[in-house]
Amino acid sequence: MDTIELTVSLTPKDPWSDILISELSACGFDSFVTTDNGIIAYCEASVDFDEVISDTLLNGEKDVDVAFSKRVIPYQNWNAKWEADFHPVYVEDYATIVAPFHKELETKGIVVTIQPQMSFGTGHHQTTWMMTKALFELGSMPEHVLDMGTGTGVLAVVAEKLGAKKTLAIDIEDWSAINAQENAVRNNCKTITCVCGDIDKVEGHSFGLIIANINKNILKAQMETYSSALTDGATLLLSGFFISDVDEMIDFAKKFSLKKTTVFSKDEWACIQLTKV
């Protein structure tokens, strides 16, 4: 089937690009590329484009200027186009996140190979980038790790490469769990278990580190379970929210014996490291 390519320019870009990605995801778009001034989004040609326009901020959000163009890419050109727009990600000198088709490029630190399919988490987004950086700056990697909302599994892969002995990677989408398992194999990881499910899959487990890059409301709803599953002195890494939400998240976490250790920020996004006390 042919593919619709939607190119969108946003002024200002942040935080509207992430809001638009969320809206387009609900309308049938399943792949996204971030650009300097907006996004490029892709979906099957069967998606009702007029309905997309009426249901998203493309229809006229007054706090942002939106310009967009649409074109149809013939099926046989899709893979080449996607590959051309997918660039390697450098997380400072700690790691390089690449796709399988990246060849003969300069890398820094450990190399993680990710085929994203329809899943979230390639390192391009600020939250994944920060979470990766935070994993390297933990000092030591606990043996038992939970990656909640694993997406592509990139953070689980990094955790194993840094010394995790057993990682449970959970995602509510079956294709993400499958994609994460494929990426674990692609990176020669041996101790990652990928599961399709929700927070109930955590029951009966305990962890020295929990990674959760989701969104603010889900993080708050699951915070009590995270705390219960953490051993004393263990670490919780949270992202998926804006800098403006940091104080709210820290105050909320206090109710569950979680104390702020470090806050990371990149552009408008934040990542919080907390300790179980």
- pTM strictly above 0.75: no
Length of the chain (residues): 277
Confidence of residue 87 (pLDDT cuts 50, 70, 90): confident
Q: Which helix (H) or strand (E) is 213 found in, with range?
A: strand 207-213
- Sheet with 3-11: list strands edge to edge: 31-34, 38-44, 3-11, 65-73
More confident of the two residues 257 and 33: 257
Report how far apart, in Å, the C-alpha atoms of 190 and of each of 43, 154, 157, 199 are. 34, 14, 10, 23
- Whether 44 and 74 have beta carbons less than 8 Å apart is answered as no
State residue 60's pLDDT score: 83
Convert the pLDDT of each residue in 226-238 to its tens digit: 999 999 999 999 9
Q: What does pLDDT average to over the chain?
A: 90
Confidence of residue 104 (pLDDT cuts 50, 70, 90): confident
State residue 77's pLDDT score: 55
Angle at 86 between CA 103 and CA 149, to 5 degrees: 110
Dist CA 272 CA 228 (whole Å) = 18
- Whether 112 and 154 have beta carbons less than 8 Å apart is answered as yes
- Whether 169 and 150 have beta carbons less than 8 Å apart is answered as yes
Residue 14 has pLDDT above 90, yes or no: no
Residues of the chain with pLDDT > 90, as a percent, come to: 62
Least confident segment among 100-104, 143-147, 209-213, 269-273: 100-104
DSSP strand pairing (95-98 vs 110-113): parallel
Confidence of residue 69 (pLDDT cuts 50, 70, 90): very high
Helix 174-186 to helix 154-161 angle (10° resolution) is: 30
Residue 118 has pLDDT above 60, yes or no: no
Dist CA 161 CA 15 (whole Å) = 32
State residue 158's pLDDT score: 98
Domains defined for the chain, CATH in brackets: 3-83 (3.30.70.260), 125-276 (3.40.50.150)
- Output phi, psi for 249, to 5 deg: -65, -40
Side chain identity, residue 103: K
Dist CA 215 CA 219 (whole Å) = 6
- Whether 236 and 212 have beta carbons less than 8 Å apart is answered as yes
Confidence of residue 276 (pLDDT cuts 50, 70, 90): very high
Convert the pLDDT of each residue in 199-258 to its tens digit: 999 999 999 999 999 888 899 999 999 999 999 999 999 998 889 999 999 999 999 999
